[in-house]
Amino acid sequence: MKEKTKLITIFCIAGVLVIGLSLNTAASILTMKNVDELKALISENMSTDQDVAQENDVVIAGEYEIKSTQKISDAYISHDASALTDKEKETLDMASEILKEIIKEGMTDYEKELAVYDWMTHKLRQDKGILTVIPSTQADCDNPYGVLKYHNAVCVGYATTFRMFMQMMNIECMVVHNSERYHSWDLIKLDGEWYHTDIYSDAETRNYMCFNQNDAMFSDRSWNTDFFPTSTGLKYNYGYQNKSMIDDVHEIASTLKKAIDEKKAYAFIGFNSGITEENAQIAETMLNGISDKISYSDEYNKYTITWKYIPIENNQFILCIYVNGFEQENNGVTEEETQKIQEIINEVFN
């Protein structure tokens, strides 16, 4: 997010200034006052970026604050909203209606979580800082009120809204922030084990890439592992739950094509005989070939694929293939209106 960009920019400027000074100190137009001011700016941003051992009241990207919503979830559970502000009551009403719509009797905690994930990835859109339709919505894009009212959110908005839903259903959940404090996501506890879920990162692709991951699967991220609970869960990882087992590595191509034809944004493949180094090389060659092939195909050229392996038990892996191209811009404009707009454009600019 932009706070990290700001810090990188500062260090780049600092590097340029040092080079400039070393090349020609006497001729440099920089004064000691300029250098002192720059050092102070770097020091200020370094202190801002230092991690903190807490969940709430943490500012992300220098702008968006993680705030507790426990009052709202407690009011939902107790059926007593008397202690809530008007804004919190409206948030509670919106959230209650959504749960009433998507949660069915007899659902497990995992099924409830999945229902909320699916609703959020389909109904919400990411705030990229360019919203012009409703200018006031950006002010609340980091909290459940704005997220549910305007369907517009930054990562903090996704994370705090998801946590609120989980806590309303008595499912343990925490909002995690990365060590550099430019991103946030959730930790959820299912059957005694913790899982990472980052709905913001999956919001546009809806491919479950960041749904119920453990620490090993999120190894490319950094967070305060001393403060936040360790995540080793595997059972409720979406790829693990929905994997297709194959006997022959060459079945990857037909398995992936079947997923694309069924309009799935993913294919999760397990290997009955395990994955050897030779098979891994065959899989890599095949996936690169598929990627090249579909890019030139009239039928499939709107799709692109990425892939990775996730570790499971007994030193085995699941091949996770993610298909991009099924996403639709969730901008609140109906299909009929979109068609009307296109007809007007064609008529005017014909």
Per-chain mean pLDDT for the chain: 84
Residue 119, classified by CB atoms within 10 Å of its CB into exposed (0-12), middle (13-18) or buried (19+), is: middle
The answer to whether residue 64 scores a pLDDT higher than 70 is: yes
Considering the domain architecture, whether residues 164 and 81 belong to the same structural domain is answered as yes
Half-sphere exposure (Cβ direction) of 117: Cα atoms closer than 13 Å: 24
Q: Answer whether 0.85 is exceeded by the pTM.
A: no
85 and 7 inside one domain: no
- We report the CATH number of the domain holding residue 267 as 3.30.110
Would you state the pLDDT for residue 5?
A: 45
**Structural domain that includes position 121:** 64-233
| CA–CA separation, 178 and 200 (whole Å) | 14
Q: How confident is the model over 205-211, as a mean pLDDT?
A: 93
CA–CA separation, 320 and 310 (whole Å): 7
Q: For residues 75 and 172, state if they share a domain.
A: yes
Shared domain check, 32 and 178: no
Stronger pLDDT, 112 or 10, i.e. the higher one = 112
More confident of the two residues 16 and 312: 312
Based on the fold, state whether residues 229 and 286 are members of the same structural domain.
no
254 and 106 in a common domain: no
> Does residue 159 fall inside a structural domain?
yes
Tell me, what CATH number does 184's domain have? Answer: 3.10.620
Take residue 125 and report the two structure tokens written for it.
Answer: 């859109």
Q: Is 324 in contact with 205 (CB distance < 8 Å)?
A: yes
Per-residue pLDDT of 81-112, as tens digits, reads 999 999 999 999 999 999 999 999 999 999 99
Residue 104 per-residue DSSP state? -
**Which residues on neighbouring strands pair with residue 266, listed in sequence order?**
322
CB atoms within 10 A of CB 1: 19
Under the banding of pLDDT at 50, 70 and 90, the label for residue 166 is very high
Spatial contact of 102 and 111, defined as CB atoms under 8 Å apart: no
In a domain, 228, yes or no: yes
What pLDDT, on a 0 to 100 scale, did the predictor assign at position 30?
41
Residues 75 and 164 in one domain: yes
Nearest to 178 by CA among 139, 140, 148, 210: 210
- What CA–CA distance (Å, rounded) separates 216 from 185? 16
273-297 in b/e burial notation, b at 16+ Cβ within 10 A? Answer: eebeeebeebbeebbeebeeebeee
Q: What percent of the chain has pLDDT over 70?
A: 79
Which is it for the CA torsion 304, 216, 222, 199, positive or negative?
Answer: positive
- Give the model's confidence band at 127: pLDDT under 50 very low, under 70 low, under 90 confident, else very high: low
The answer to whether residue 31 scores a pLDDT higher than 70 is no
Q: What per-residue confidence (pLDDT) applies to 135?
A: 43
> Is the domain of 193 the same as that of 301?
no
**Cα(290)–Cα(280) distance, rounded to whole angstroms?**
15
Helix (H, G, I), strand (E, B) or coil at 33: helix
Residue 52: pLDDT band by 50, 70, 90 thresholds?
confident
What pLDDT does residue 231 have? 97
Residue 127 vs residue 140, higher pLDDT: 140
Helix 109-123 to helix 155-168 angle (10° resolution) is 150
Helix (H, G, I), strand (E, B) or coil at 270: strand
Claim to verify: residue 157 and residue 296 sit in the same structural domain: no
pLDDT band per the 50, 70, 90 thresholds, residue 189: very high
Note the residue count of the chain.
350
Which of the four pLDDT bands, split at 50, 70 and 90, describes residue 342?
confident
Give the count of domains, the chain. Answer: 3
Q: Which residue shows structure tokens 């006997």?
A: 247
Under the banding of pLDDT at 50, 70 and 90, the label for residue 283 is: very high
Q: Structure tokens of 209?
A: 């890439």
As a whole number of angstroms, the distance between CA 174 and CA 230 comes to 12
